[in-house]
Chains A and B, each alone.
Chain A
Amino acid sequence: MNQTGVVAWLAVRELWISFRLLALLTAYVGVGAVVALLPGPGPSPLERLAIGLAAATIVGSGIAAGSLGTERALGRAGWLVTRSITRGTLLIGWFIALAGISLVGLTAAASLGWLAASTVAAPLELGPFATVVVGVAATGLAAVAVGLLLGSLLGPRRAIVAAIILGVAVGAAAYVLLPATIVPLSALAELQALERPVAAGVQGAGVGLAVTAVALVLARLALGRADL
């Protein structure tokens, strides 16, 4: 196993032991379960799924921020760095671990949500739905990357609080100010009203991946200057 794999595997085990893996999976899968099992009055299943996934994305960002902040504060990041692990490898290893868990949870939540939406509303086409979910996944990756950026800059508690506040603020601003075609979670909520859902999903995925890349570059720069 290469060094990135070693760090990612260590990160997964640390997340498992500390119950953060369970919390992240529960945040995503719980959303799908609630949407699927508790159909009720109010917003449509897709709207409820979008709101739930937005909350799970913020949880993911907070867990990412707290995890890297904790690794730095407890000297575990330093232990790895003094053993030939570069700071970049450390960052990418943690990103892979958190992104992987988020994607597993999102896949489960989306599957449950699709089943729920298909039984309640008119049959939901899988292609457009899956494309928009890919966009939501890219948003989740961006949230994890931003969380890691905050974890590179701040101590664990401050990083978690900052990630949650930033997530809520950015999410609310994006929902109010930006068109649904470039905000995947809005596109998911309004999927059946969109004229070109596939294009919206692809566009949202592109925006999400671009934000992920920028956040990771900034996190690498921040971690390069950080005390470990």
Chain B
Amino acid sequence: MRLLRPAAVVCSDLSRGSDLDRCSLSVPAGGRLLLVSDPDSAASTLLRVLAGLTRADRGRIHIAGSSDADGWGQRVAYLGPNPGLHTWMTPLEVMRLAGDLLELPAEESVRRSERAVAWARIPVGALARPMSRGGVALQQRVALAAALIGDPEVVLLDEPLRALHADERRRLLLLPGRRRTVLLASRYPASEVGLAAHVVFLRGGRVELIAPVADLEAAGLPLSHRGIEALAATRAESTGRTQRRAPRPA
């Protein structure tokens, strides 16, 4: 028996500049999606709109049971290519600040910080030093740890952790939690093997393909931009053929 899961992210008719054109997408809770787009910036724009960093020209968004971006901080986390942290802060200060902003009780904040810091493998020696001394890789680890401190239901990852080694990056992006919904925008899908169950392809500002990653393998296509495009073309062709065969109403 297959149980229907509630949607964690629903967006309909989203438009933003030339990147999104009446884009609609529904992601079930616990879904892990790889977003690939043509042009590359469209997937990033979609995540930024979902995170409330970029305002859509039109359309509706519903995330984690709320349609008000101001309330998403508790349940939605965004991690972009740029950590966006004050590099003069120490990792400990960032974690404390993240806990304070989420209004977590002090003990709970410390407990979650320790867990997130351990998960992100932030070196103990670097915890009390300004992040500027640790480089971009440390900042990206801290940004991930700070994003996870709120135990978000939805995690939006836009080209994250590119400064880390590929294996370590993959380990970190396999976020724990079966009910956690993850949307990962990537310009290099081949580097995201094993991180997502489904792939979404955006073209012309709209969703052209949603398919299980396994379908690529079944079609003998690689998890790459070209492979995803080829699968989208195959699906579009077969859909067109089906429509041509369908009898026309009298």
Contacts and interface: CB of A to CB of B under 8 A. Distances in A.
Interface stretch (B68-76, B165-173, B192-200): B68-76
A155 B98 CA distance: 26
Nearest to A7: B101
A3 B78 CA distance: 19
A interface majority secondary structure: helix
A82 B86 contact: no
Contact of A224 (B51, B55, B72, B100): B55
Contacts of A1: 100
B84 A86 contact: no
Interface string B54-88: 11000000000000001111101110101111101
A84 B55 contact: no
A76 interface: yes
Contacts of A83: 73, 98, 101-102, 150
A85 B74 CA distance: 11
B233 interface: no
Interface string A65-104: 0000000001110111111111000000000000000000
B80 A84 contact: no
A81 B88 contact: no
A41 B114 CA distance: 65
B203 interface: no
Nearest to A224: B55
B53 interface: yes
A225 B17 CA distance: 13
Contacts of A85: 73, 101
A79 B85 contact: yes
Contacts of B100: 1, 6
Given A3-B101, A6-B100, A82 B82 contact: no
B103 to A, nearest CB: 8
B236 interface: no
Contact of B83 (A6, A75, A225): A75
Interface in A128-158: none
A80 B101 contact: yes
Interface in B86-109: 86, 88, 97-98, 100-103
A224 B84 CA distance: 19
A17 interface: yes
Interface of B: 48, 51-55, 70-74, 76-78, 80, 82-86, 88, 97-98, 100-103, 143, 150
5 contacts: A6-B100, A78-B84, A79-B143, A81-B52, A83-B73
